[in-house]
Amino acid sequence: MTGLRSLALLLPLLLGWASGHPAPGRRSFHKLLLISFDGFRWDYDQDVDTPNMDRLVKEGVKAKYLSPPFVTMTSPSHFTTISGRWVEEHGVIHNMLYNSDKGWKYDFKATQNKTEWWDNGVLPLWITAQRQGRKTASFHYPGGGAKYDGEPVQRSLVESYSHPDSNETEWRENIDIVMDWFKKEDFDFVTLYYGEPDNVGHRFGPETENRRVMIQQIDRTIGYLREAIERHGLTEHLNVIITSDHGMTTIKMKPEVTEILLTNYVKYRDLVKFDLVDYGGLGMIEAKPGQEENLYQALKNAHPSLHVYKKEEFPKHFHYANHKRALPILMYTDPGYNINGRLILHINKGDHGFDNSVMDMKTIFRAFGPDFKKDYLAEPFDSIHIYPLMCKLLGVTPEPHNGSLAVTEGMLRDSSGQNPGSATASKTMHNVVIGLGTVTAVLFVLFIAAVTYTAIQRKKT
């Protein structure tokens, strides 16, 4: 009976081991690559030949269009995608870090390395996934160079000032680097950012041959991506989401229209302490002490295409103004009208930052991989819903967010409606079942050994 007593003592230890040790080589989620092509308007592929994007329609998911958040700028929109929160909740309310008391502003690229601009108590998916055992990286994606709650993204490359946004060879090299991260270093989640077609849309305008040529370059890059995935043996292991941050519209200029120049309506020296204008269709301004009402009254009816609000009266549906960083007076314009402060430079032929309900501000959503249906056309949706979708794909329990998995789960092959994080629970249950099977086999062997030992001992006595 000594052998049987030993068996009884081993049983709880073996059960504990089974529940805590996963089966080797098994995982319940696939890898995920999120790619953003900055400023890719929803209809850019409709007036140019794009065979690779057309192929994605048949082999994956296409949304009719995607609605970005307000304000339709690069950093605010990208951080909504990676966090699932409205702009007024995550606090990245502009491309530029600024301080109205000190009077300074950092441009878009300088702001990428400023943790104080990005870290506002909302965790992006990189950090959430890392804390749940995933390996994550950011390649030029806005916000990827910051620390959140003191924690950096495990691997992050930030764009330099001299980075060549439109170099097709470099684009392909970046894809090869990311594929190696997945294949050789076993990364689970990578974000990859390209600065086009935003730059060409600004410089030449969205309705130009220059923009159409750039879309063809992007299409070739998507074709190269598909080849690279296959070449690295990742076809059955990698989900890909391709999206953008906003669209683009042609800027209206005189003599076609009367352009908006704030110095035509207010005396800056007397009324204005700080402004954030000359940046598309959104402007913010702070008055000198005691001049708040005078400044507001001077601006509110200044131009028929300029919509001026006190911060507390800004339209709630934009989910924008309810943050401490928003300045006391906010303005936005009708599509195509830029807000100019002291002078008009006419640098940009195209721009964004306008009302996110305007069709020219809508953008794209494409997806393919082992978890996505094929030849699936999704209805339009807001970009906040990408976050819970990504959590579902990665088997990650999400942080609080404004999105809903119900909006996107129909595009998944397994759209049973389980909540994000259920993959983790399923993985745990799977491990327990495998472990219990192992324990059963071990117990059976021990039982036979114990019975044999007992029989031998009886013969001896």
pLDDT tens-digit series, residues 372-409:
999 999 999 999 999 999 999 999 999 999 999 999 99
Give the H/E segment covering residue 453: helix 422-460
397 catalytic residue (yes or no): no
**Is 209's pLDDT higher than 80?**
yes
Coil, strand, or helix at residue 66? strand
Q: Return d(Cα 398, Cα 401) in angstroms, integer.
A: 8
Mean pLDDT along residues 316-339: 98
**Is 232's pLDDT higher than 90?**
yes
Task: Return mean pLDDT, the chain.
Answer: 89
What pTM was computed for the model? 0.85
Q: Return d(Cα 240, Cα 333) in angstroms, integer.
A: 35
Confidence of residue 418 (pLDDT cuts 50, 70, 90): very low
Mean pLDDT along residues 150-179: 94
Which of 2, 50, 72, 74 is catalytic? The answer is 74
Coil, strand, or helix at residue 257? coil
Closest CA to 282 of 70, 4, 65, 116: 70
Mean pLDDT along residues 104-111: 94
The pLDDT score that the predictor gives to residue 414 is 78
**Is 106's pLDDT higher than 60?**
yes
**Is 321's pLDDT higher than 50?**
yes
pLDDT tens digits for range 445-458: 555 555 555 555 55
Of the candidate ranges 3-12, 303-312, 393-402, the one whose mean pLDDT is the lowest: 3-12
Q: Return d(Cα 428, Cα 337) in angstroms, integer.
A: 55
The pLDDT score that the predictor gives to residue 28 is 84
Is-contact 32 239, C-beta < 8 A? Answer: yes
**Is 362's pLDDT higher than 70?**
yes
**Is 309's pLDDT higher than 60?**
yes
The pLDDT score that the predictor gives to residue 454 is 55
**Is 6's pLDDT higher than 90?**
no
The pLDDT score that the predictor gives to residue 10 is 46
**Is 273's pLDDT higher than 60?**
yes
Strands 31-37 and 238-243, how do they pair? parallel
The first and second tokens of residue 15, run together, are 């059960």
- The contacts of residue 170 (CB under 8 Å, 6+ apart) are 164
Confidence of residue 164 (pLDDT cuts 50, 70, 90): confident
Q: Which residues in 215-319 belong to E strands, given as ranges?
A: 238-243, 249-250, 260-261, 272-276, 282-287, 306-310
Report the percent of the chain where pLDDT is more than 90: 81
Of the candidate ranges 5-14, 84-93, 323-332, 435-444, the one whose mean pLDDT is the lowest: 5-14
Q: Return d(Cα 158, Cα 137) in angstroms, integer.
A: 11
Q: Measured between alpha carbons, how far is residue 238 from residues 17, 157, 443 in Å?
A: 31, 21, 39
The first and second tokens of residue 210, run together, are 């220059």
Q: Which long-range contacts (CB under 8 A, 24 or more apart) does 416-423 make?
A: 418/392, 420/388, 420/391, 420/392, 420/395, 420/396, 421/391, 421/395, 421/396, 421/397, 422/395, 423/28, 423/29, 423/392, 423/394, 423/395
Coil, strand, or helix at residue 239? strand
Of 403 and 420, the one with more pLDDT = 403
**Is 14's pLDDT higher than 50?**
no
Is-contact 110 118, C-beta < 8 A? Answer: no
**Is 2's pLDDT higher than 60?**
no
The pLDDT score that the predictor gives to residue 422 is 39
**Is 437's pLDDT higher than 70?**
no
**Is 461's pLDDT higher than 70?**
no
